Structure 1
Amino acid sequence: MPPEHVTTRGHLPRLGTKKFASAPDQASRARAWVSEALGPGHPAYDDCELLVSEVFTNAVRYGQGDTIEVSAYADGHAVRVEVVDAGGETVPHLVDDPDGETGRGLLILRALTDTWGCRRLPDGRLRVWFVLDPNAP
């Protein structure tokens, strides 16, 4: 079933799904779209803004398609964001290189989220998702 027909993920209602061009300048548009859907009063707002940028930028850098799809699900406390790209040769993995110029995005993702993951879809696309829940233990 295409994501636009998914109305919830777990207990979180879908706020929407939007496609963006796979280009570096679109990361700010994806971030703004998710931020607007959440609203500035949401407890996960600030962390979500940062993480959408990180995950979207990785999709641009490592995905091989022309578009990136972003879906957001949220209630008054938690948020889940899914970023789907066309897939690439590798899946996201942590890089342990403190002197490197890149590779910190997944470390930030791991540090700020309650849970995150990635899954190669049957059609070859890659879904990277994260959940922020300020009320989680």
Structure 2
Amino acid sequence: MPIVNGAMVQGLDRSQPTFDPVRWRQVFPGHELQLRQLRRWLTSLLPNCPARDDLLLVAVELGANAIKHTRTGNGGRFAVEITWHGSTVRITVVDDGSSSKPHLVDDPMAEHGRGLQMVRHLSMRTGTAGDDRGRLMWADLPWESPSSELPAAFPAAFEEAICAGQVHLRRRFPNICTWFGRQTLCWWALPAPPAPNEFLTAVSAEDLAVQLAALQGPQSESR
């Protein structure tokens, strides 16, 4: 099984389109009732087609895995990101981490672990990375829609502003995961330990930087 950027990858790479991907991200509390909200979000986001049905199954399974087998299910949260890249849609789930790694069970009669078998069956590629501090699981699914359409990206000027905010945050806080939520229209961050293991959110990259600087103390403010 090949390794890409430190993550285990199942399947073979395929040629990538030349245009930029479109992304949406949403954060959910770590409770099983939120899986229904996850389905509703994806249903409202994506056009109705067989490819969407497969993606819903994979997304809910990865979300359920985060709730059942990581600290997300103990009052935490999980983030879901959808990336459309032409004929491929990637579903990514980030949780609060676990001391154990995701376990694929090949026995169809086993009581646990068959969900990841289904994920692998529906996906072209899958991968995982992380540890007890936080974990990421992703799956690439083929996207074959009669209209081949997903919601459009933001206007160019808005995209430029998002990119500028991302550059600013990554330069100032290179060890902290930050992103812009295209569905929530807010900026998000997952601070690194020993900060509290919870998501931060703000209406702008500048406001998010203020919150992160406050967590890191006066040394960060002086940069």
* Pairwise TM-score range, normalised by the shorter structure: 0.7 to 0.9
For 1:99 and 1:70, the matched residues in 2 are separated by 29
For 2:39 and 2:100, the matched residues in 1 are separated by 24
- The alignment of Structure 1 onto Structure 2 pairs a total of residues equal to 124
Q: Distance in 2 between matches of 1:91 and 1:56?
A: 15
| 2:135 equivalent among 126, 129, 132 | 126
Matches within 5 A, 1:34-113: 34-41=42-49, 44-65=51-72, 66-113=76-123
Q: What one-letter code is carried by the residue in structure 1 that aligns with 2:35?
A: A
Alpha-carbon distance in 2 for matches of 1:60, 1:79: 23
> 8 Å contact 2:88–2:142 — kept in the other structure?
yes
Q: Determine which structure has more spread, i.e. the larger CA radius of gyration.
A: 2
- Alignment check: 8 A CA contact 2:105 2:114 kept: yes
Q: Is the 8 A contact 2:46 2:52 kept in 1?
A: yes
Alpha-carbon offset, residue 109 of structure 1:
0.8
For residue 33 of structure 2, the aligned residue among 18, 25, 38 is 25
- Structure 2, unmatched stretches of 5+, are 1-15, 145-223
Partners of 2:57 and 2:138 lie apart in 1 by 14
Q: Which 5+ residue runs of structure 1 have no aligned equivalent? A: 1-9
- Runs of 4+ in structure 1 off by over 6 angstroms are none
CA-CA distance at 1:35 after TM superposition: 2.9
**Cα 1:85–1:53 shift into 2, 3 Å:** same
Judge conservation of contact 1:15–1:37 (CA < 8 Å) in 2: no
| 1:44 match: secondary structure | helix
Alpha-carbon contact 1:79-1:132 (below 8 Å) kept: yes
Q: TM-score, normalised by structure 2?
A: 0.51
CA shift, 1:75, in A, is 4.3
2:21, 2:86 within 8 Å by CA — same for their partners in 1? no
